[in-house]
């Protein structure tokens, strides 16, 4: 149970970071190179969040 709670906590922290990155992505506007990389990182973070919540890690 403690491990599952820790995974949920880490997933929540990861999600908060992803949301901050998405906000940065929106603020970057026409800087496609940086914005594209931020979007790619945010997508990878989503995968990690899902893996954490589905006990795949």
Q: Is 52 exposed, middle or buried (0-12, 13-18, 19+ CB in 10 A)?
A: buried
| Total residue length of the chain | 57
Residue spans of the domains in the chain: they are 2-53
Question: What is the structure's pLDDT at 57?
Answer: 66
Asked if residue 8 has pLDDT above 70, the reply is yes
Asked if residue 16 has pLDDT above 70, the reply is yes
Q: Is-above-0.85 flag for pTM?
A: no
How far apart are the C-alpha atoms of 49 and 57, rounded to whole Å?
10
To 10 degrees, what angle do helices 2-28 and 32-53 make?
Answer: 160
Asked if residue 37 has pLDDT above 70, the reply is yes
Asked if residue 56 has pLDDT above 80, the reply is no
Rounded average pLDDT over 25-37: 73
């Amino acid at each position: 149970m403690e491990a599952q709670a820790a995974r949920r906590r880490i997933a929540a922290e990861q999600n908060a970071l992803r949301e901050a990155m998405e906000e940065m992505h929106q603020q970057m506007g026409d800087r496609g190179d940086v914005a594209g990389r931020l979007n790619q990182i945010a997508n990878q973070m989503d995968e990690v969040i899902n893996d954490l919540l589905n006990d795949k890690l």
